[in-house]
Structure 1
Amino acid sequence: MTLVVPTALGDVAVHLHGRDPSTAPGLLLLHANPGDARDFDQVVPDLSRDHAVAVLDWPGFGESTVGDPHAVTAVGLVDVAEQVLDELASRGFDRLAVIGNSVGGFVAMRLAERRREVAAVVLVNPAGFAPPNPPMRAFCSVMAKPSFARRAVRPLARLYLGKRSADGVRAAYLRVRELRADQRRLAVYCSLWQSFADPRVYLGSARVATDVPVQVLWGMRDVINPYPLNKRALSVALPDAAVVRLPAAHEVFAERPELFLARVRPFLAALTGV
């Protein structure tokens, strides 16, 4: 089943899987830039066995529409996700855990700060912990240039997605290949990259309630968001979170789903009230 949630940035598709949220713990999955809900296809069937799972497409990606592609920012996605939470609450999702990858991880952290219904967070190579210093801002500016993005998006995906022998990685790469020919989707991609230089995206001073457990999974082969750049801010913002370093790239759930599930399932199972 797919819900459509109207937001200021576009109509957002939210794909529902698994159990009835009134009788099972809820999960909200947030993908990276670029990408869509299908990036989680390798793990959704397993998670759906005992969870009510909601997986959204950010505006301009997957089945979601976008009004002005240049208006899509990381900070704006937090507002989008809050509207999705409101809709999910009306459908029986009371307390839920949020799994966020890359920009989805940034959004997951902000939701945990703002929303009482967020009971736990799993961060997968999250954006927001690399300090917004001049080199970082310059990198984002280059990545945001449409002329550069059109040329670089495919070779970069080969590097940061990991082994294309994995079904999930191969499928994600094929979707990324289509980006350069889709002007609106490319514009969303570039706008999000530009927004990563916004100081409001930095999570170094983020504070999540002590009763909200956080798990951090980091693929150590990630070349687009390497762990060493994020390590210090992670330790300050999340001093009690265990950081699990994994032999994977940017999207471990697509590249090594069995490894992802082996780490995430015990974490979710240990939660109370979710």
Structure 2
Amino acid sequence: MRVAIETDYGTVAVHLSGRDPGSGTGLLLLHANPGDHRDFAAVTPTLGERWPVAALDWPGFGDSPVTDPSALRTSALPVIASRVLDVLRVEHGFGQVVVIGNSVGGYAAARLAEREPEHVRAAVLVQPAGFVPHGIIVRAMARFMSAGAVAARTVGPAARLYLGPPDRGSVRPVLERARAVRDNADRLAVYRRLWATIADPDLDLTANGPLPIDRPVQVVWGRNDPINPLPLNRHGLAEALPDAEVAVLPTRHEPFCEAPRLFLDTVTPFLRAHSEVNR
């Protein structure tokens, strides 16, 4: 089932599956840049056997049109997620959720858990953005990856690097969608815009010491990711989330599509421990 939620940046498509929302804690899935809700397709059916699942498409990706790509910033993603969560609660029967976010979706998940503890029961941050302290590396990546000619030429090859071999798990369709971004003007514009604003001050989750998140957090990291490597994030994670449960997997940027069974085995105990099921 797909529902449409109006936001300041476009109509966001949210794909609902799994158990009835009234059955207990739900899951809110937030994807990376680029990508869409289908990035989680290899794990969504299994998650849905126990939990209500809502997977959104950020504006400009998947089934979500974008009103004005130039108005979108990476720091707006938590605001969009908050709007989606409000509508899911009021109109679609969702209660508290565990939010699972990947990359910029992981950044959004962290901010959502920080700002809405009454609605977020726990968070799973998968290869999250925001834990490399801002400096020359972050600013250089933002400039390079968002440059027009560079973005069009590298969106496909970059995805091949961070997703890994196409024959692993469900990598191939995710890679094919990433390669197609260069041929869609709006999607390429959003891809560039999110990269350009990755150095926004709100994206530095390490700036002010430990994050004020009073909900359980699990961090899942693929140690083979070349675009957001663990060594650059290790200190920031320890400073910002000293109490987080950290799992390091032999994967790259999207372990849920590269090694779905391993990902499920890693996160399911955490999800079970921090969710409620109404019989």
Same fold (TM over 0.5): yes
Alignment of 1:222-241 (within 5 A): 222-241=225-244
Alpha-carbon distance between aligned partners in 2 of 1:272 and 1:175, rounded to the nearest angstrom: 32
Aligned to 1:264: 267
Alignment of 1:149-168 (within 5 A): 149-168=151-170
- Contact persistence 2:169–2:260 (CA under 8 A): no
- Matching of residue 123 in structure 1 with residue 88 in structure 2: no
| Pick aligned residue for 1:253 from 245, 253, 256 | 256
SS of residue matched to 1:60: coil
Aligned to 2:56: 56
Shift of 1:131: 1.2
Alpha-carbon distance between aligned partners in 2 of 1:107 and 1:140, rounded to the nearest angstrom: 18
Shift of 1:167: 4.2
Alpha-carbon distance between aligned partners in 2 of 1:15 and 1:51, rounded to the nearest angstrom: 14
Alpha-carbon distance between aligned partners in 2 of 1:70 and 1:272, rounded to the nearest angstrom: 38
Aligned to 2:101: 100
SS of residue matched to 1:197: coil
Aligned CA-pair RMSD: 1.1
**TM-score, normalised relative to structure 1:** 0.97
* Aligned amino acid, residue 161 of structure 2: L
Deviations 1:75-105 (A, max 9, x none): 1111111110111111221111000000000
SS of residue matched to 1:178: helix
**TM-score, normalised relative to structure 2:** 0.95
Shift of 1:70: 1.6
Deviating beyond 4 angstroms after TM superposition, the runs of 4 or more aligned structure 1 residues are none
Alpha-carbon distance between aligned partners in 2 of 1:208 and 1:43, rounded to the nearest angstrom: 30
- Contact persistence 1:102–1:125 (CA under 8 A): yes
- Matching of residue 147 in structure 1 with residue 149 in structure 2: yes
Alpha-carbon distance between aligned partners in 2 of 1:152 and 1:34, rounded to the nearest angstrom: 12
Shift of 1:209: 3.2
Alpha-carbon distance between aligned partners in 2 of 1:35 and 1:162, rounded to the nearest angstrom: 15
Aligned to 1:169: 171
Alpha-carbon distance between aligned partners in 2 of 1:157 and 1:190, rounded to the nearest angstrom: 14
- Contact persistence 2:24–2:275 (CA under 8 A): no
Shift of 1:163: 2.1
Deviations 1:216-266 (A, max 9, x none): 000011111011111111101110112111000000000000000001111
Aligned to 1:243: 246
- Matching of residue 195 in structure 1 with residue 203 in structure 2: no
- Matching of residue 218 in structure 1 with residue 218 in structure 2: no
Aligned to 1:79: 79
- Contact persistence 1:12–1:64 (CA under 8 A): yes
SS of residue matched to 2:23: coil
Instruction: List alignment gaps of at least 5 residues for structure 2.
Output: none
Aligned to 1:114: 115
Shift of 1:200: 1.3
Percent of residue pairs bearing the same amino acid type: 51
Equivalent pairs counted in the alignment come to 273
